[in-house]
Amino acid sequence: MAVTNKVPNSTDKSEWQGDYGYGDYWELLLTAKSGYKFDGEIKAAYYDIDGNPNTVVLQPRNSSNTEVRANVYDTDADTAFEITGNTRLDNELAVTNNIPNTTATGVKSGSYGGSVTVTANEGFIITGAKAAFTDVDGNPANVDMTISADGKTASWSNDDFDRDGGVTLTGTTASEPQPQPEIPVTANLSNCYADPPLPETLQVGATLNVTIKANENTAFDTAQSTPKISYYDDGGNPTNVNLTVSSDKKTATGSLTLQDGWQDISVNAQAYPVAVVGQQYGAINVYLVTLDELAEFSGKRFFKETETGTQNYENIDLGAYVNRIRRVYTNISASSADVIRCGNYNTGVSCQQPAQDKITLDFGTAVVPAHNEDNTDYESEIQIFLPFAGFVSLNTDYAGKTIGLQYVINVVTGNGVALLSCNGVVFQVEETEPSSEILYLSPSTQVKTMGGDDWNEMLYYGLEPYIYCKWYESATGGLNKDRKTGILGDFRGFNIFDDVTPIHTAEMLTEEQEMIYTALSDGVYIE
């Protein structure tokens, strides 16, 4: 835009008139917005085509002075103009303002009415205001103006008075009261939330009302920590005010009126999971964490702790409180939100509580191959691959039968067992370890594992169980295919006999009878 309009309450409609090829010029044109008219000279500053500074006054185009215009010829299409001047309300009412530290404006309305608005200057408020005028009957009148609640404005209006006589204002002002200092309020909440939310700051003299609610499946436990409001008093002394915990331990409430000189108001509350996995294993905490949460914990693992009232400090490594960190290769459901605690230290790292200490995985069922469907199947070699256990032998008695596989995994230890069953009866149990250690950096920057040195390369064996079977093909026309019933003397060659009718003579001993049965069942050659 070649024209910069700095006249308030006006619209620039200037155009370069260059369509004629001769006598080209700029038409500078401003129109006042509705309810306004131009006040005083409206000037345009520019540099002519020779580079000389010039000004031109825009002239009114109507009696109401709502449009001003000027044609400028010593220019080109790229000439830049800056137009300055003022506007005023078209229906302005004459006001004599005798109220100190204020400004006032008056506006005519309708045929006989008008209104006045008074605004206090920065740092002041209006404490009293009157408007004096002449009513429609020619009598002087003096009425109170309406002062806003904050004292920053006062107003008056009338529908029928002598507008030509104007309005005279009188009144008083006072210094605006200085606001009370703001004290920051910090929320240190674990497994709980403020309802309603806590303010970020409060003024001295205000009351801090606190209602803290425990998250689902958690509760406040005053034996471990009491919810409280903490602050430093005007002497710099740390002070605590305990909140009241409800009988169901789900809500903590309290209030505190802030005094001058107090600093660092904080609301501190921790809720604890109601059903905690790991209690049966001793004084340990068990957490279900993500890689991002572990990364956040790593950032808070090392710090210096200063002894109260001294310059002494010690290096703290929260890793000393960690017994193990294991990656379990299955989904683990969560019961409730929690934060990672190491001894007496609350890291503030949000995480989840596992829903139970063991998980049962059902891999379904499979039929053990019986390739030949004859006695040779019992000579097969059958193995099942179990994830994190490897190949395990199966008894050939289960050839042709349906077997099931389940894993029971301990979430706390990361260990588990594989249960093989047939017809609902467990017939084989194998120990397995479907987890691995998580690497971390020790203070010496050496890579170690938390709680052990086993990376568990069994992961690379695979995660899908299957059955491996090595069988022997039955010979063509094999013995098991020519089963016959007959008299021993009718058979020739090698034969195996079963279900033999009793063989005996009066002279035959029992031992001799058993020897014959054994030989027949093992196989004999008959010529």
Q: How far apart are CA 250 and CA 41, in angstroms?
A: 73
Note whether 290 and 364 are same-domain residues: no
**Tally of structural domains, the chain:** 6
DSSP 80: -
Residue 520's domain spans which residues?
484-526
pLDDT of residue 154: 96
Give the residue with greater pLDDT, 25 vs 505: 25
Q: What percent of the chain has pLDDT over 70?
A: 91
Q: Residue range 487-503: average pLDDT?
A: 82
pLDDT for 481 equals 54
Please say if the pLDDT value at position 250 is more than 90.
yes
Sequential DSSP letters for 278-295: TGGGSS----B--HHHHH
Model confidence pLDDT, tens digit, residues 38-65: 988 999 999 998 999 999 999 999 888 9
pLDDT of residue 419: 95
Do 125 and 195 lie in one domain? The reply is no
Same domain, 106 and 154: yes
Which residue, 74, 65, 45, is CA-closest to 57? 45
Task: Report d(CA 422, CA 394) in Å as an integer.
Answer: 12
Same domain, 463 and 413: yes
The mean-pLDDT minimum among 228-237, 360-369, 483-492 falls in: 483-492
Same domain, 287 and 363: no
Contacts of residue 436, defined as CB under 8 A and 6 or more positions apart, other chains included, come to 326, 327, 329, 414, 454, 455, 456, 459
CA pair distance 205, 180, nearest whole angstrom? 8
Q: Look at 319 and 133; give whichever has higher pLDDT.
A: 133
Bigger pLDDT: 418 vs 454: 418
Q: How far from 208 is each of 94, 200, 241, 255, CA to CA, in Å?
A: 50, 11, 12, 5
Local confidence band at 512 (pLDDT 50, 70, 90 cut-offs): confident
Same domain, 151 and 242: no
In the chain, the amino acid numbered 357 is D
pLDDT at residue 169, as a whole number: 96
If DSSP states are collapsed to H, E and C, what string results for 135-171?
Answer: ECCCCEEEEECEECCCCCEEEEEECCECHHHCEEEEE
Q: pLDDT band at 66, cuts 50/70/90?
A: very high
Q: Is the pLDDT of residue 123 over 60?
A: yes
At which of 45, 62, 89 does a domain end? 89
The three state secondary structure string of 184-252 is: EEEEEEECEEECCCCCCEEECCCEEEEEEEECCCEEECCCCCCCEEEEECCCCCEEEEECEECCCCCEE
The tens digit of pLDDT for each residue in 165-202 reads 889 999 999 999 887 788 999 999 988 999 999 999 99
Which amino acid is residue 8, in one-letter code?
P
Instruction: Please provide the average confidence, as pLDDT, over all residues in the chain.
Output: 86
Whether residue 155 is predicted with pLDDT greater than 80 in this model: the reply is: yes
99: domain CATH number is 2.60.40
Q: What is the pLDDT of residue 367?
A: 93
Which of 111-125, 293-307, 457-471, 503-517 has the largest mean confidence? 111-125
Q: What is the pLDDT of residues 380-432, one digit of tens each?
A: 889 999 998 889 999 888 888 999 999 999 988 889 999 999 999 999 999 99
Domain stop point among 354, 381, 397: 354
Residue 24: its pLDDT value, please? Answer: 84
User: Which range is least confidently modeled, 279-283, 389-393, 449-453?
Assistant: 449-453
SS3 452: coil
pLDDT at 471 over 90: no
Of the candidates 257, 273, 289, which is a domain's last residue? Answer: 273
Q: Starting at the earlier edge strand, list the strands of the sheet with 416-422.
A: 358-367, 402-410, 416-422, 425-432
Instruction: Give me the pLDDT at residue 345, please.
Output: 84
pLDDT computed for residue 58 by the predictor: 96
CA atoms within 13 A on the CB side of 395: 8
User: Is 48 exposed, middle or buried, given 0-12, 13-18 or 19+ CB atoms closer than 10 A?
Assistant: middle
pLDDT at site 6: 95
Backbone phi and psi for residue 210, each to the nearest 5 degrees, phi listed first: -120, 130
Are 217 and 287 in a shared domain?
no
Same domain, 100 and 79: no
Quick check: is 38 in a domain?
yes
Do the beta carbons of residue 351 and residue 339 sit within 8 Å? yes
- Residue among 200, 219, 198 nearest 209 (CA): 198
Q: Based on the domain organization, do 268 and 331 belong to the same domain? A: no
Residue with tokens 């609301």: 267
Q: Helix, strand, or coil here: 520?
A: helix
Distance CA 257, CA 209 (A): 9
For residue 465, how many other CB atoms are within 10 A of its CB?
A: 17
In a domain, 443, yes or no: yes
Helix H, strand E, coil C: the string for 322-361 is CCCCEEECCCCCEEEEEEEEECCEEEEEEEEEECCCEEEE
Whether the predicted pLDDT of 117 surpasses 80: yes
> Residue 491: is its pLDDT beyond 70?
yes
Q: Are residues 14 and 85 in the same domain?
A: yes
Kindly state whether residues 365 and 421 are assigned to the same domain: yes
Q: What is the pLDDT of residue 279?
A: 62
State whether 461 and 366 are in the same domain: yes
- Residue 448 is predicted with a pLDDT of 47
Residue with tokens 């070699």: 381
Give the model's confidence band at 278: pLDDT under 50 very low, under 70 low, under 90 confident, else very high: low
Tokens for 2, please give them.
């070649």
Neighbours of 228 (CB within 10 A): 17
Reply yes or no on whether the pLDDT at 444 is more than 60: no
Report the chain's C-alpha Rg in angstroms: 49
Tokens at residue 433, please? 């370890």
Say how many C-beta atoms besides its own lie within 10 A of residue 119's C-beta: 15
Structural contact between residues 232 and 240, judged by C-beta atoms closer than 8 angstroms: no
Q: Which amino acid is at 524?
A: V
Classify residue 478: in a domain, yes or no: no
pLDDT at 511: 83
pLDDT band at 504 (very low <50, low <70, confident <90, very high): confident
- For 319-348, write each residue's pLDDT tens digit: 888 888 888 888 888 877 788 888 878 888
